[in-house]
Amino acid sequence: MSKAVFVTGTSNGLGKALFELLAAENHSLFCIARRFLPEQIELASQSNHDIRLFQADLRDSAQLPTASDMNAFLQDKEISEVVLIHNAAVIEPIGAVGTLDPQQITEAIQVNLTAPILLSNTLFSLQAAETLPVKVLFISSGAAKNLKDGWALYCSTKAGGEMFFNVLAEQVKDQKRISVHNVNPGVMDTEMQKTIRSATDVHFPTLERFVRLKEEGQLAQPHDVARSIIRDYLPA
């Protein structure tokens, strides 16, 4: 019996890897992203795959899937578990407080914190969440606990997200069929890392560290991280 997996940010990096590995295991996928890759669209069109590609910009709360959207996806499915993976995130704005772009500040809070809160709230309002096993994964970062000068928005939104999901975990602690996890995937070779390494004209004292990680081949590959997450949190 397959899982029904809702996952954000599937067009690159860890989200893309999760999409490919979970689809290969024939799980039902509800993917939320601004855009989708041609191969994802092709796979979703095949009758032997149960994949919903829900195009939405997480910066706009009005575009997020509703309870009706989620219910329609779950309807008439024989599934073993409902899973929500909050993967999408943005690293920008990078720089000194006082120089940050106000629009980027708003968008970072929306994508990294507000959207996961809203989507989780919607999921837990569903009737399926009252009866089926439920698992929520918030893809966090070491930046949630370790201060990074120049990353005021990324650090604070990831820390805020971890606290929200810690509170949610406390709320459901007596319900054995529900589990909530903050997951630190480590430093990966993704588009976000490219953005970090390109931040050469703003206040970011540890830039050289991230440049060295790439040069020395110390960045984990997204598929390897995705396999570990599936093994540890979503076993068959």
**Residues 47, 50, 55, 59, Cα dihedral to 10°:** -170
Residue 53 pairs in a beta bridge with 31
Q: From residue 235, how far is each of 28, 60, 146, 230 by CA, in Å?
A: 15, 33, 30, 6
Q: Which helix (H) or strand (E) holds 219?
A: none
- Burial status of residue 65 (CB atoms within 10 A of its CB: 0-12, 13-18, 19 or more): buried
Phi, psi (degrees; rounded to nearest 5) at 134: -130, 140
Pairing state of beta strands 79-86 and 2-8?
Answer: parallel
CB atoms within 10 A of CB 28: 22
- Catalytic residue numbers read 154
* CA atoms of 132 and 145, how far apart (whole Å): 32
Contact (CB, 8 A) for 17 and 66: no
